Chain A
Amino acid sequence: MKIGYLRHKWNVLGIIVVVVMLDVFAGNAMGMGGGSPPTCPPCYDSSCTHYLCCEACWGCNASTNQCSIRRCDQSECKDCNYDDHGNCTGCKSKCNPNYCQTCVGGTCKVCGGDTNQACCDGTCYDTRTQKCCTDISPRYICDIDCKSCCNGSCCNMTNCEICKNGSCVRAVPTNMHQTYVEDQGGTLHFEYEWDSTTGDLADLYNCSVREKVDYPGGNPYYWPSPPWVGGVFNPTILPDPPIPASYGGAVDNHSPPAFKKPYQNASVSATQVYQYHCGPSCCMGNDDWETLLSIGSIQRFVTGDGTLWRYSIIKSGAYAEIFPLP
């Protein structure tokens, strides 16, 4: 009897405990959202940070899109405002401005939910036209098109700027000058050097140098024949490919064209210019070659009196010859 009474008493107590627990649990649930757990708004992660209402979804079950059992702490929801149906309508203080969150329709949304925008240290940018530079903190925004990140600045690549020691500097060849000229048996041998606007030739890794020689007449240009034979591209653009500007110097040999007998007096004057190009893309357009050094004329002559003939070439005041021509 006693045992039976006690068993009954424990049973009653157990029921009460369960009821109380359910009540407590249900009370919380009812008190906050009312009824069964609400359907989760779009869930982003397992924390409340990005939820529409923290009480509505504290640990979302991804498969059912239902709120899990655990509920938010009341204090976490203090800034939420609710409508008559218990839906959160405001969440201002829950939106983190560092993540560019704004409250849209009761939801903290990055950059107002615009899918073409992203957040860069609290500033929204258009991912189609801009990029977030992560080279320093705080991060900053540069245009994708022809701008590069540089220690808080955006280098203007259309001006051939590169980032050097934390600053944007223009990197192109400059100051091309003749360093030596030699007569190598009728071939005029020139040596040139140039500098980099940054002071470091290695910064010219994107730049090339070439020569362009224009001959009078069409393309191809045929040498007066005799005394010469054959032709050249007009203009003649060499070398192919152009020489890397990072070499800082180059040789240019002007050899005589092929000769043809019987010799006769003739002269040809061409115009030469050395050019540079820096790429790719932004710095200069595909066909944009800037003048690095304008030489002027290259003159070639064959002169003689019928018995002795002389070939000569003049460029930049330098002269070489073959005399007598064989």
Chain B
Amino acid sequence: MIKKLNRLGCLLTMTIVLVSFIDMFTNAYAQEPENFLEWRIGTSKQAFYPGEPVLLTLNIKNSGTREEKVDFGVDGIGAFLMEVHDSNGIIVAKGEKIQRFGLSRLGTLSVAPSEIKQKPIVLNRWCSTLLPPGKYHVICNIEYLLRSESRKKEGSEVFQAGPVHRKQLELDIQIIEIDKTKFKEMLETLVAFEVKPEAQSKEEWLAKRDIARELLALAESELAVPYQLKLIRNDPYTWFGPDAINSLVRSGTLEAATGLMQIIEDPSVYKDDVKHILIDGVYRLREIGKPDILSATNEFVAKHERPFIGTPVD
């Protein structure tokens, strides 16, 4: 009888221990799925020229047992805020959250268990790298959602978003004296992605071309102007067209103004739905007030009224 009681006690204890373990695991997972994600940030190189586009790569490892879908917000960039500090810890560049209206690219990244997924982002979208040579510290703040934490509303197909998680990632970069030849070589390398290599699938090529186009569009240098104009001429509908136009405007060059005017007035360039953005670019270049740009664009603005570019809500 005593033996039987002992056995029962033993079984009960084991069951309790097992149940506790299972409960502990499930609770841990349910409450803190973000704990199963390991984040790293890096660049392919350490030193950059002033104005060079800096490609940051987020590496996200899922050490959990189920797939996680990370929501990086609108266009896959809405979740990011950036800061660049100099060697004295002073903020020299700061980029707030980016807003986009209407349809935008899907911003989620699925990471399967034990998988490492990468997400590329370009620092220059938030912070200029037109900085004096020296060492800099980049702080990347991410405010993201996890799809696993979204809960279906009762009696509805709609999910209620889970809590916003915050992550801070840091890395060091160095800005070095510009070498114009090498800077141009870098731009040429990016332009080369416009041509599909024979061996590459169209899908793979388009994905790589997108990153190259984004880098090219966000390059901050007069040296990039002809390449950015070429990008717009080749594909006025490119998703990165507005970025390229912003960079052209920042270049404040006559070359940018004449290049844009040529594209606008070239009937062989198909651009009906984006023409207004290009025309606005010429007007923005005029706002810089450089006499050579003003005189070169006087006739153009007499012909083309400034389009209204608003901030819409749909």
User: Is B102 close to A, CB under 8 A?
Assistant: yes
Q: How far is the CA of A180 from the CA of B153 in the complex (A)?
A: 13
Within 8 A of A (CB), among B112-154: 145, 150, 153
Most buried by A among B102, B104, B158: B102
Residues in chain B near residue A246, CB distance under 8 A: 206
Residues in chain B near residue A242, CB distance under 8 A: 103, 237, 273
User: Is A72 close to B, CB under 8 A?
Assistant: no
Residues in chain B near residue A250, CB distance under 8 A: 103-106
Instruction: Tell which of B90-98, B288-296, B306-314 binds the partner.
Output: B306-314
Check B106–A279 contact: CB distance below 8 A.
Answer: no
User: Is B160 close to A, CB under 8 A?
Assistant: yes
Instruction: Tell which of A37-45, A124-132, A232-240 binds the partner.
Output: A232-240
User: Is B33 close to A, CB under 8 A?
Assistant: no
Quote the shortest CB–CB distance from A61 to chain B (angstroms): 44
Check B203–A202 contact: CB distance below 8 A.
Answer: yes
| CB-contact partner of B237 in A180, A208, A257, A317, under 8 A | A208
User: Is B107 close to A, CB under 8 A?
Assistant: yes
Size of the chain B interface, CB-CB below 8 angstroms: 41
Most buried by A among B74, B106, B161: B106
Check B206–A211 contact: CB distance below 8 A.
Answer: no
Within 8 A of B (CB), among A120-176: none
Q: How far is the CA of A240 from the CA of B273 in the complex (A)?
A: 8
User: Is B221 close to A, CB under 8 A?
Assistant: no
Most buried by A among B103, B150, B270, B310: B103
Within 8 A of B (CB), among A216-238: 230, 232-233, 236, 238
Instruction: Tell which of A19-27, A103-111, A184-192 binds the partner.
Output: A184-192
Contact bitstring B204-222, A, C-beta under 8 A = 1, else 0: 0110000000000000000
Residues in chain A near residue B64, CB distance under 8 A: none
Check A236–B106 contact: CB distance below 8 A.
Answer: no
Contact bitstring B247-288, A, C-beta under 8 A = 1, else 0: 000000000000000000000001011100100000000000
User: Is B238 close to A, CB under 8 A?
Assistant: yes
Between-chain CB contacts (< 8 Å), 17 pairs: A205-B202, A211-B103, A213-B314, A238-B312, A240-B102, A241-B273, A243-B105, A244-B238, A246-B206, A249-B106, A250-B106, A251-B74, A251-B106, A257-B313, A272-B314, A280-B270, A317-B157
User: Which B residues contact A (CB, under 8 angstroms)?
Assistant: 74-75, 100-108, 145, 150, 153, 156-161, 201-203, 205-206, 236-239, 241-242, 270, 272-274, 277, 309-310, 312-314
